[in-house]
Structures are given as structure tokens and as C-alpha cells.
Amino acid sequence: MRLTFAELSLTTLRTLVQISERGIVPAHWEQMQTAVALNERQQVEQITAYLLNYQLTLMNEATIWSRAIYPLLLLAEVNSIQAWAQISLRADYPRFTLEGLVDGVLGHVFGGVIDAPYLIVVEAKRGLEGQNPQAQLYGTMLAAAWQNQQRNRQEQQEMYGCYTIGDNWTFVHGLVTGLENDLPSLTIQHSREYAERLEAITILQILKYIVRTYFTALPSLPSPLA
């Protein structure tokens, strides 16, 4: 069975993957306290000052993405970990194939391509095309986990994802196991919603924490904390 991210629904995913949702777990995200440099804080202030003076509900998704979402992803970059937009992902599980474009990722760049995606970002569509973004996000996280498993051969893949609605961010932590089984497992827990206009520093701290975590977990890469 071949499915694109855009056509995924939670009902379809549950026939392909064993999904365990643990709901909102505030403690997991509250521990992500990472230092933000003064120059980064100044850039965040410029971004949020712009957002406070415009009616985001009247802007289209592309405008919000370019002025609110992507600038924070850029601030989380370290060394070879870069923020890219419109990335193609594909995963060939035993019983199904997932493929399509992802709105944004933070990942390790090698040879001019995203070699290992760590954080997947899905921008929720509004209007007539609007739908629950969770199914699409779960699908892209499964695809990224499969790609990473081809690289590191680990049985369990830890992934982070995020979906945005306007300037609101909701993060998801996922563990994918049984990638070579007929019924792989996805265990997930959510953050609360973070409003960028008011909590941009907290959002950036989470992004930077995720990047630091993956550098620590991959000894083959130089540590950004050295």
C-alpha cells in the first residue's frame, strides 16, 4: 500500500501502525531549558514585534511560515544541523510505503542533502483544505524514523515533531519500534500549545534542546557544546 502524507487519516494509520498516545505531558517539555544567547534574544524580539502588529488570522500559510515559523527554526541551527523547507521523505515499511513533502525539518546535512531528519514540522492548512494535522505529522515522523533507521540501524528511533497553526506550536515526542515488523509501534506524547507572539523564547529553547540532544546521541558528529 502506497500513501502520501496529505491523504493520511488517523483511522488509516491505526490499521498500519500500533499507536499509543500518552496525551499532554508538561514535565517532558518543561525540562528543556537551554541557554539563549543575547543576540538570539534580540532576533526573537524583532520577530515577535512584527507578529504583534499584524493580523495573523488574515495571512495565508506561506506568509506566516516565512515570517514566524522558519525564522525560529533558523535560530536553532548548529554546525551541520540545518533548517530546510519542502523536504521529500519516503519510507518503505514491510506492509506500506509513506511518501510526500514535509513543510520543514531540522536535520543533519551531509553531501548537500538532509541525511538525518530530527525534527519534523507540519503546517496545518486552514479553510476548505483544513484537517487534523496530527495524522500527517505522525506519518512524516514514521518516515523520518525509517530513514534514520537505515542510517544507524537502531531498533528504536526517537523522533520529535511539531505542527503549527498560525503562530501556535504544538510539539510531539515519538518513539518508533518494530520498524521491520508488519505492525510497527509509535508511542507519542504532546506538549501544550505555545503561542509564538508570547512564548517565542520558550519555543526556541525547545528547538535548541532537541538539536543538542541529537548531537549528544551521535558521537560521530562534533558537539556544538565543545
Let me know if residue 223 belongs to a domain.
no
pLDDT of residue 195: 95
pLDDT of residue 221: 40
Question: What ranges in 55-132 are assigned the alpha helix state H?
Answer: 61-64, 70-75
Question: Does the pLDDT at position 219 exceed 60?
Answer: no
Domain count, the chain: 1
Let me know if residue 225 belongs to a domain.
no
Let me know if residue 153 belongs to a domain.
yes
Calpha distance 25→23 (Å, rounded):
6
Let me know if residue 39 belongs to a domain.
yes
Let me know if residue 127 belongs to a domain.
yes
Calpha distance 134→51 (Å, rounded):
25
For residue 192 the three cell numbers come to 501544550
Let me know if residue 186 belongs to a domain.
yes
pLDDT of residue 126: 62
Average pLDDT, the chain: 89
Q: pLDDT tens for residues 27-40?
A: 999 998 888 999 99
Calpha distance 31→205 (Å, rounded):
10
pLDDT of residue 222: 38
For residue 110 the three cell numbers come to 551531509
Calpha distance 178→196 (Å, rounded):
36
Let me know if residue 59 belongs to a domain.
yes
Let me know if residue 222 belongs to a domain.
no
**Structural domain harbouring 106:** 2-217
Question: Does the pLDDT at position 48 exceed 70?
Answer: yes
Calpha distance 103→3 (Å, rounded):
17
Give the number of other CB atoms < 10 A from CB of residue 56: 16
pLDDT of residue 73: 96
Q: Which residue has the higher pLDDT, 224 or 129?
A: 129
